[in-house]
């Protein structure tokens, strides 16, 4: 995934991408997994699906960088991950949130509806 490449190394054309801001964003994504369905213990740091949730969230955040990251995306991604593979979860997340109404809820944009 391209999001993982940015977290590891500085990509070509880094003058256009603020690598420090992205690494801070990716760090926040990892920290926010602690609040996703904590009672299930699937997505916490030691949980079996932690890395899948982080990967799907990073990929979607990078894919829709125009809307930025909101912690609510992780809850939706986690619900998909319980039933689907990480790739299928990313596709489902993209298909679901690329509609005006769900995207308005996720971005807290009351004027988008």
What's the rounded Cα separation, in Å, for the pair 88 and 65? 20
pTM for the whole structure: 0.76
Identify which has the larger pLDDT, 24 or 48.
48
In this predicted structure, what is the pLDDT of residue 82?
A: 96
Cβ neighbours of residue 32 closer than 8 Å, sequence gap 6 or more? 71, 74
- Write the class of the CATH domain 2-112: mainly alpha
- pLDDT tens for 2-20 read 555 555 554 455 455 677 7
Instruction: Tell me the per-residue pLDDT of 51-63, one tens digit each, with 9 for 90 and over.
Output: 999 999 999 988 8
Q: Domain limits of the chain?
A: 2-112
Write down the residue that tokens 């926040």 correspond to. 28
| pLDDT band per the 50, 70, 90 thresholds, residue 42 | very high
Q: Which DSSP letter does residue 64 get?
A: T
pLDDT tens, position by position, 70-105: 888 899 999 999 999 999 999 999 998 887 777 677
Residue 54 CA to residue 30 CA, distance in Å, equals 6
Mean pLDDT of 40-55: 94
113 vs 25: CA distance, rounded Å: 27
């Amino acid at each position: 995934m391209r999001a993982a490449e940015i977290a590891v190394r500085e990509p070509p054309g880094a003058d256009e991408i603020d690598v420090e801001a992205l690494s801070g964003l990716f760090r926040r994504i990892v920290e926010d997994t602690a609040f996703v369905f904590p009672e299930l213990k699937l997505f916490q740091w030691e949980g079996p699906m932690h890395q899948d949730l982080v990967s799907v969230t990073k990929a979607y955040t990078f894919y829709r960088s125009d809307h930025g990251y909101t912690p609510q995306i992780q809850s939706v991604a986690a619900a998909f991950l319980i039933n689907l593979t990480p790739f299928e979860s990313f596709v489902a997340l993209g298909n679901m949130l690329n509609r005006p109404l769900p995207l308005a809820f996720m971005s807290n944009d009351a004027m988008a509806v």
